[in-house]
């Protein structure tokens, strides 16, 4: 069941009740179920359940990392802005965006996000719990992260991989699926900042419960 909070608006509470009723039995454990309900609430799309994938224990790993003080690293400022209110309302979790490390101009053959991810991961995995990583818009940043981990860099506590679109998206999601990392993934072309934020917000709510 979705973790409800004392300050939740009645419309939100009723929305979750209706979503749960419409979804019916999903067979999911409580934490993945909460993630699914939050995704449906944020998108209005009951069909997302057929695209949602969890590695074994992924939600529990993310929950434990948040409770231990891991920060949240997003690919975009939009995703960071969507997470920050819940992060402050619950665990006062630090939220950062990869663009803080990105150059002003993309180098030839790369993207600002890719360069930013490489720099951010070096800094944010030094003497601290590995961040939770949210990718809603930048498949290149996800691929850079996966290459760094494959080369021996510290693995993230959890990857929420939901890049949206048609160029490089299917490939990056496939690489994530094959990586063996703790992950929550949305197959196909759907995704975006709002959905990755919704997924981690569900975990933040549970962590503060």
Q: Which residues contact 155 (CB under 8 A, 6 or more apart)?
A: 130, 149, 181, 182
Which one of 38, 41, 112, 190 is the catalytic residue? 41
Q: Strand runs (DSSP E) across the chain, as ranges?
A: 52-54, 72-74, 95-97, 132-135, 158-161, 183-186
41: annotated active-site residue: yes
Confirm if 186 and 160 have CB atoms less than 8 A apart.
no
CA 27, chain centre distance (Å): 22
Q: How far apart are CA 30 and CA 71, in angstroms?
A: 23
Q: Strand runs (DSSP E) across 88-154, as ranges?
A: 95-97, 132-135
Active site residues: 41
């Amino acid at each position: 069941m979705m973790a409800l909070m004392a300050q939740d608006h009645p419309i939100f509470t009723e929305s979750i009740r209706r979503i749960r009723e419409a979804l019916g039995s999903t067979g999911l454990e409580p934490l993945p179920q909460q993630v699914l309900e939050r995704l449906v609430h944020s998108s209005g799309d009951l069909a997302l359940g057929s695209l949602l994938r969890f590695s074994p224990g992924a939600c529990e790993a993310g929950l434990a990392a948040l409770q231990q003080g891991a920060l949240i690293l997003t690919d975009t400022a939009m995703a960071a802005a969507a997470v920050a209110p819940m992060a402050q309302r619950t665990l006062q979790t630090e939220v950062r965006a990869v663009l803080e490390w990105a150059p002003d101009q993309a180098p030839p053959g790369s993207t600002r996000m890719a360069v930013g991810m490489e720099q951010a991961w070096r800094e944010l995995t030094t003497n601290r719990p590995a961040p939770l990583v949210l990718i809603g818009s930048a498949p290149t940043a996800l691929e850079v992260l996966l290459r760094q981990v494959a080369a021996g860099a510290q693995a993230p506590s959890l990857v929420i991989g939901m890049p949206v679109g048609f160029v490089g998206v299917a490939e990056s999601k496939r690489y994530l699926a094959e990586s063996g990392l703790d992950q929550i993934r949305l197959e196909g072309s759907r995704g975006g900042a709002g959905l990755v934020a919704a997924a981690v917000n569900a975990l933040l709510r549970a962590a503060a419960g």
